[in-house]
Structure 1
Amino acid sequence: MKMNPLGRTGIEVSELCLGSMTWGTQNTAEEGHDQIDRALMAGINFIDTAEMYPVNPVSAETIGRTERIIGLWFERDGRRGDVVLATKHSGEGLAAVRDGAPITSQTIPEAIEGSLRRLKTDYIDLYQFHWPNRGSYMFRKNWTFDPSGQNRADTIAHMEDALGALQREVERGTIRAFGLSNESAWGTTQWVEAAARAGGPRVASIQNEYSLMCRMADTDLAETCVNEDVGLLSFSPLAAGLLTGKYQGGAIPDGSRMSLNGDLGGRKTDRAFAAVDAYLDIARRHGLDPSQMALAWCLTRLFMTSVIFGSTTMDQLEVALGAVDVTLSEEVMAEIDTAHRAHPMPY
């Protein structure tokens, strides 16, 4: 398992990151603990969660349950030092958390204290803002997102105010590093510049959706990541399970995400299934497991710090772990590029 630097923090994280968002709905606490045990055995040191988890569905009754499950593992095993732990502060609009309040210097200490209690730890290694107050291009909003109504001065003032609150948490020892999620190239650059200008922790990473089927980061964000040492943490590298092939031909396996979230968060389109067919064909002809091919491809990206994957079964976890041993040939990489050009942005 390769280790990569987390921005300029001096922290190193494994190239695969164990996602946790199904623990507490689709997975029990015991299953989540088994996943942590197996992941650490395989060399993973990085676990990602969020105060709003679990999902499928998100509900007021389950908010914080995933963090509590992780906290119970820390309490059981006492292995906090073996894990680089990342969690997230929910942004504006999620009614189940702080009645939908935006991220502010007032909500940051409260949110951190809540996460620390649930996680049964004294510190968070990477504290991320789950999405920006001003909105995001992520979650299929790239088709309609309109930034023309933004007030630039207010955005910059918010960033500087939030960084001040984060710096106080760094000084208290409750967080070690700061990251973004569902941000844009412009927003990421402004966070970097605000820290240089006004102080506060420099953004170390950005967690955005990225996969063979969602490659928006290949454009402006990739350049930002490379030039500013802000590493990408990709989520949904298997396109919510589409790239496994399990949904082809109208199949909806029992207990799968599609059985709980019918349109896979807007990813279920006719063009998506055609794109999956193209990638499955490449994997089949080259004797590759399609999930491992998709994960291994993400690991080749020069701006990638860690690829976050989630599993609901141990068999799925084992397949994902095997991706680090897969090397994609130049021929496979060229065929993937051809498929991407034929099936761009399928959702």
Structure 2
Amino acid sequence: MPSLRALTLSTLPKCTQYLRAPKRKVTETYVGNWLAKHGSREKLIIASKVSGPSRNNDKGIRPDQALDRKNIREALHDSLKRLQTDYLDLYQVHWPQRPTNCFGKLGYSWTDSAPAVSLLDTLDALAEYQRAEKFVISACRTKLHLA
């Protein structure tokens, strides 16, 4: 696939006119600049995501990585601004805000402590912004493994 700087609709196969902008500021800015220059927003499916706290507390994503209403609103607003669009087709919660067996961690240890933000609170916030037509579809990876 060509670099975003050289991207045009003609370079994208018809079945892959989907742009997933990783939740990093520079990539969303590249995509937004391309959209502003070339238009054709309605011909693309654009996705982005919001992340909960990582094991390493990656402050490069957002200073406060809680998946509460305030932080989801801020992350979504910032993504829309960088992407220079008024809506996304898909908005994803990249990882949940609760202890989980991820980032290569094996041997999940259950704890009875409540998460700082419940999954229901996160889903309520996503539903609010979906009703406000900021994105078409939301997706939340819950990391549930049923045996």
Bin for the TM-score computed over the shorter chain = 0.7 to 0.9
- Does 1:34 find its partner at 2:10? no
Q: Sort the Cα spacing of 1:41 and 1:161 in 2 relative to 1 into closer, same or farther, 3 A.
A: same
1:136-177 deviation per Cα after TM superposition (whole angstroms, max 9, x unaligned): 433322x24x241253xx45x712212221122112111111
> Partners in 2 of 1:103 and 1:36 — Cα distance?
34
> Secondary structure of the residue that 1:170 maps to in structure 2?
helix
Q: Sort the Cα spacing of 1:140 and 1:169 in 2 relative to 1 into closer, same or farther, 3 A.
A: same
Q: Sort the Cα spacing of 1:168 and 1:100 in 2 relative to 1 into closer, same or farther, 3 A.
A: closer
> Partners in 2 of 1:94 and 1:173 — Cα distance?
29
> Partners in 2 of 1:87 and 1:177 — Cα distance?
11
- Unpaired runs of at least 5, structure 1: 1-17, 19-29, 54-63, 187-219, 222-347
- Unpaired runs of at least 5, structure 2: none
> Partners in 2 of 1:99 and 1:148 — Cα distance?
27
Partner of 2:70: 106
RMSD: 2.5
Choose which of 45, 48, 59 in structure 1 pairs with 2:17.
Answer: 45
Q: Which runs of 4+ in 1 moved over 6 A?
A: none
Paired amino acid for 2:121: D
Paired amino acid for 2:50: H
Partner of 1:184: 143
* Bigger radius of gyration among the two: 1
> Secondary structure of the residue that 1:185 maps to in structure 2?
coil
1:292-340 deviation per Cα after TM superposition (whole angstroms, max 9, x unaligned): xxxxxxxxxxxxxxxxxxxxxxxxxxxxxxxxxxxxxxxxxxxxxxxxx
Choose which of 28, 47, 65 in structure 2 pairs with 1:86.
Answer: 47
1:10-21 equivalences under 5 Å are none
Taking structure 1 as the reference length, the TM-score comes to: 0.37
Q: Sort the Cα spacing of 1:161 and 1:118 in 2 relative to 1 into closer, same or farther, 3 A.
A: same
Task: Decide whether the 8 Å contact of 2:51 with 2:95 is kept in 1.
Answer: yes
Equivalences, count = 143
Identity %, equivalent residues:
25
Task: Decide whether the 8 Å contact of 2:52 with 2:95 is kept in 1.
Answer: yes
> Secondary structure of the residue that 1:102 maps to in structure 2?
coil
Choose which of 115, 136, 139 in structure 1 pairs with 2:103.
Answer: 139
